[in-house]
Chain A
Amino acid sequence: MTEAETALWWARVRATGPQRVAPSSAFPAGMLRLVEPDVAAVWLLAAVPETARPSVAEELGLPVLAVEHPNDTARVLAACLRCCWADPTGPLWPGKPASKDEVATVLGAIINRTEAASNIALLGAIRRLAGAAWLLWDEPAQMVRLGPRVAVWGSADLSALRELWRMVSSSADIGRADVEGPR
């Protein structure tokens, strides 16, 4: 792979987000390769040092990119993280798929809101997150997976995320509490 091709890949990844390519394709320098669980494809993701992440903008007090409903979106991401991160001692990627209902259950435990409003907010947030490759959203099957962008979180971030994982109760816990609740 020549330098020009590498530069082209970087430009592509920066301009359009993580790229899904065939597993046999080239490997641009300095990129993360995230293999899909079925090894049918590979995600290319720009691997930048910790001091060049988007989080630096926040530390420097620069304006970060605005999201619609930032809190709701963050909560949905947290709920998806709880559902899809199968083993919190291991890496985030690839994670296991979870249905939208599972996510909705977990989200319901985080926020108290009417079912309908929560559903609309959930769908919107999932689409927003999927647009930025934080999630992979299978609309027909209504299944959610963690997107390739989660691999950007570093090891320091991961420990905070484990904390979050423990903080949020899983859908199975909630289901059991519901059954045992009216005892």
Chain B
Amino acid sequence: MHIVDGALSNPVVIGGAVLAAGGVIRGLKELTMEKVPTAGVLAATFFVASLVNVPIGPSSVHLIMNGLAGLVLGWVAFPALFVGLLLQAVFFGFGGLMVLGVNTLNIALPAVIVGLLFRRWALSPNPKVAMVAGAAAGAGAILLTALMVALVLLASGQEFLTAARLVVLAHLPVMIIEGLICGAAVLLIGRVKPDLFQTLVGVSTLERV
């Protein structure tokens, strides 16, 4: 969900840019060498996922895949998704350079939040619990993103309920699809490389000490 240049009022654009910059700095501080390839792969996934369109109503929405980024990366999702958004704006004209901060905040903050909420359960040795946590993270991140988009539109003068209903309804199919993909991805990680989450978390805390 990209907001385009000119749709938002100036205070919202500036506020979004400042908050997003804070998130990116926080993420860069947590970025360790071990996390760099994962961040790159997830930035690439996000960059390409936006081209998968789900036609709905008068418009169409696309996959975002920020839930998985949040689960695996935590705060590092901010710089990773920022890079993805920047490249999307430059290459595809999605969103715009002026509103890059707001878009980064709208997409990366939900990623961080679901990461903090669900990572514990995504690590569960029980594959069912892990999969449900992954699915909840995938769908929850989209829901939060849609709500934030509606909130930002509200702050710029659009009526909240109308905008929120529209944005959330439009993203229902994406929520379902991303829930399934994210759940499957967590299951896959659990089966193929169960220590992916732990290794990354462990290393980052080790380096900080």
A binds B: no
